[in-house]
Amino acid sequence: MVLSIKPHNILLDENFIPKVSDFGLARLSPLGNSIVSLTAARGTMGYIAPELFYKNIGVVSNKADVHSFEMLLMEMASRRKNLNMDPNDRPTMNRVKEMLEGDVESLQIPPKPFVCPQEKPVKPVNDEGAKSDPRY
């Protein structure tokens, strides 16, 4: 198990074939067995599998890496981080409680968050600007 699958640890070779790097947290499992014993949670917030958060971890399967890969794909598809570290951009616990106790129809869903992420538009580069720059 790698236990550290995230964008920073995926490198591309000259043919743009992805390669996993940084095996500092990796654990070997016996041949034919996908379960590894862990005594502490390992990984990066936002990519770590939920089962690694439990206090008495015990054993973990290679499915922890599958979860990390899913988070990586979700981040790529949505073009935004999968974990929001800014508390001002998250609902308060009272608001979360209201959402959980309220009616499903009353929830406000953002307009297609994974299809149209809110980002600043990129300015197009004109041909004249590129021609005047000696690098081009």
pLDDT in tens, 65-91: 778 888 888 888 877 777 777 778 778
Res 36 pLDDT > 70: no
Q: Which domains does the chain have, with CATH numbers?
A: 7-83 (1.10.510.10)
Dist CA 122 CA 33 (whole Å): 48
**Residue 47 near residue 5 (C-beta atoms within 8 A):** yes
Q: What percent of the chain has pLDDT over 90?
A: 1
Average pLDDT value for residue range 98-120: 68
Better-predicted residue by pLDDT, 17 or 125: 17
**Residue 50 near residue 64 (C-beta atoms within 8 A):** no
Question: pTM (2 decimals)?
Answer: 0.49
User: Of 82, 61, 59, 80, which is closest to residue 70 (Cα–Cα)?
Assistant: 82
Which residues, at least 6 apart from 136, have a Cβ–Cβ distance to it below 8 Å?
130
Question: Which neighbouring-strand residues pair with 19?
Answer: 11
Q: Amino acid identity, residue 13?
A: D
Let me know how long the chain is: 136
